[in-house]
Structure 1
Amino acid sequence: MVDESLMVHANGIHIHATTTGQGPVILLLHGFPDTHLVWRKQVPVLASAGFRVLAPDLRGYGRTDAPPQVLDYTLDKLRADVLGLLDALHIDKVHLVGHDWGGIIGWQLAALAPERIERFVAMSTGHPSAIAHAGVLQHLRMSYIPFFCMPGIAEHTLRAADWFALRQFTSEPGQAEFWKRDLDPPGRLTAALNYYRANMKLALPQSLPRVKVPVMGIWSDRDPALGEKQMRDSAHYVDGEFRFERIRDADHWLQLTAHERVNTLLLDFFAAKKPQSTF
């Protein structure tokens, strides 16, 4: 099954995305420091199950434009990019999957644009208010964020020794080479870090409307940055169905290091017939 590459003008920037398959749309939103390629073990499985799978490079990543200013990466702009992409492609409603920053954007969309979301899967990243209220241990887990917010110093450190620090993030073989390739061009690493620099208020409780669409939260027990509590407690901010799934022996990039389990959960939650073979 072949991916079709799209370049769409939306919300004042050019957004690159791939689309694969036919049927109800599943929108996959990646996080830091990825591109749409982080979903490479989901796209063919979901498309084979009868979905159209839309996987964009978010603002600043991959082949999508990377505006130069920190405030170009505030959540309102990130949210508007996604809605603008759907509008440009004449897509009214989607099944949404978001990981890491894609999960944060997903919670925003589920709360503020529920008419566009059929069902939402949050991977790793719980509701912003659940993260804010998750306690001291959760805040210690996220102590890297102030470092990411130090212009110049963070960039220099992450690039040092052939991106040594970045290579420690995941156990997935070869994943760091994708990151190195995609973040190496001028301005791209800074654009990725600007997600943190533009949205420091995420450490505070959020005043989002309650989420009314069905939600599944998937958390992996080897995630160093995000604990189980912040995902379980996301149920407090969802009216209606909330399903929690815990995956063992997978790191933060569970769509890669536990792809078979993740694929099974996505197909089940989106009520699809499971394909005969998976990765």
Structure 2
Amino acid sequence: MLDVNGLRMHVTTTGEGPPVLLLHGFPDTHAVWRKQVGVLAAAGYRVLAPDLRGYGRTEAPGGVFDYTLVKLRSDIIGLLDALEIPKVRLIGHDWGGIIGWQIAALVPQRVERFVTLSTGHPSAIAQAGLLQHLRMTYVLGFVLPGIAEHALRAGDWFLLRQFTSEPGQAEIWKRDLSAPGRLTAALNYYRANLNMSFPHSYPRVKVPVMGLWSDRDPALGERQMQDSARYVESGFRFERIRDADHWLQLTAHERVNALLLDFLGSRASPV
């Protein structure tokens, strides 16, 4: 447990070597990376997997605007500062990917290279066309206070169970989100950032990036990830993961892990 950016943050650390930071998304905790942590540590990395604000054992502030991207980004920089890590290999999924893009674009001196799972560059998502916007209409439901919470809990969390094909994952979500205030905190990521998550104009990224996209992702299409290449100046590598849902780090972990190890580079390189 660390004091970071005005809150108590829980982070797991595994292994020794150059640091790799894993950022989860909705509705997960650090545990969503359970199939990556051991593999990366065995390859010679120091693997950091925090619970982002509002999730897991990290504190959950009560206000909607405690979850703006500015604060989420500041949490991660504060975490690196607290651990005295000047530069990191960064991996993010879903909201963790959006936070990762922010850090890679706005604080590039803290990132050696960046891997994003599912979420393309914010401007690429914004400009990905009508079909992409239709894919994301569920967000309009998530931002409705009270209604979204009721809908997600209904029928023993029926809707949440439809999100994943990974055995046991829905029970993990149910357990973690049933704690007081936790479901609302998770939904506040959407409520606090509805108008600012995917701007049409956003800084280009000057560090190498790899984007992993799964072909059974219902929310995010292939175009938004492929078009991210237009916003990366130091090389963008696109990888399509077949027969995997949105949580590809779980449902296609062997393929994902191989790509991560290939892209992260020599563990002996300076950070």
TM-score, normalization by structure 1: 0.94
What's 2:121 paired with? 127
- Picking from 88, 91, 96, the partner of 1:94 is 88
What's 1:242 paired with? 236
Q: Answer yes or no: is 1:62 the counterpart of 2:56.
A: yes
Q: How far off its partner does 1:271 sit?
A: 1.9
Please give the secondary structure, in 2, of the residue aligned with 1:210: coil
Spell out the pairing of 1:67-82 with structure 2 (5 A cutoff).
Answer: 67-82=61-76
* Preserved contact between residue 211 and residue 237 of structure 1 (Cα < 8 Å): yes
What's 1:112 paired with? 106
* Preserved contact between residue 79 and residue 105 of structure 1 (Cα < 8 Å): yes
Q: Deviations along 1:140-174, whole A, 9 cap, x unmatched?
A: 00010000000000000100111010000010000
* Preserved contact between residue 127 and residue 200 of structure 2 (Cα < 8 Å): no
What's 2:47 paired with? 53
What's 1:142 paired with? 136
Distance 1:206 1:136 in 2: 14
Q: Deviations along 1:3-34, whole A, 9 cap, x unmatched?
A: xxxx0001000000000000000000000000
Q: How far off its partner does 1:202 sit?
A: 3.6
Distance 1:270 1:100 in 2: 19
Please give the secondary structure, in 2, of the residue aligned with 1:42: helix
* Preserved contact between residue 60 and residue 191 of structure 1 (Cα < 8 Å): yes
Please give the secondary structure, in 1, of the residue aligned with 2:219: coil
Q: Deviations along 1:205-246, whole A, 9 cap, x unmatched?
A: 244321000000000000000000000000111112100000
- Picking from 22, 35, 38, the partner of 1:41 is 35
- Picking from 208, 226, 234, the partner of 1:232 is 226
What's 1:177 paired with? 171
Distance 1:181 1:272 in 2: 38
Q: Give the direction of change, closer, same or farther, for the CA distance of 1:65–1:251 in structure 2 (3 Å limit).
A: same
* Preserved contact between residue 128 and residue 202 of structure 1 (Cα < 8 Å): no
Distance 1:206 1:132 in 2: 6
Structure 2 unaligned blocks of 5 or more: none
Q: Give the direction of change, closer, same or farther, for the CA distance of 1:269–1:43 in structure 2 (3 Å limit).
A: same
Q: Answer yes or no: is 1:11 the counterpart of 2:5.
A: yes
What's 1:163 paired with? 157
- Picking from 179, 184, 194, the partner of 1:200 is 194
Q: How far off its partner does 1:186 sit?
A: 1.0
> Match of 1:220, as an amino acid?
S
* Preserved contact between residue 112 and residue 208 of structure 1 (Cα < 8 Å): no
Please give the secondary structure, in 1, of the residue aligned with 2:10: strand
Please give the secondary structure, in 2, of the residue aligned with 1:169: coil
Distance 1:131 1:152 in 2: 28
What's 1:264 paired with? 258
* Preserved contact between residue 16 and residue 56 of structure 1 (Cα < 8 Å): yes
Distance 1:203 1:186 in 2: 26
**Corresponding residue pairs, total:** 267
Cα RMSD of the aligned pairs, angstroms, is 1.0
Distance 1:205 1:55 in 2: 28
> Match of 1:154, as an amino acid?
A
Distance 1:191 1:53 in 2: 25
* Preserved contact between residue 183 and residue 189 of structure 1 (Cα < 8 Å): yes
> Match of 2:64, as an amino acid?
V
* Percentage of matched positions with identical amino acids: 76
Q: Answer yes or no: is 1:220 the counterpart of 2:214.
A: yes
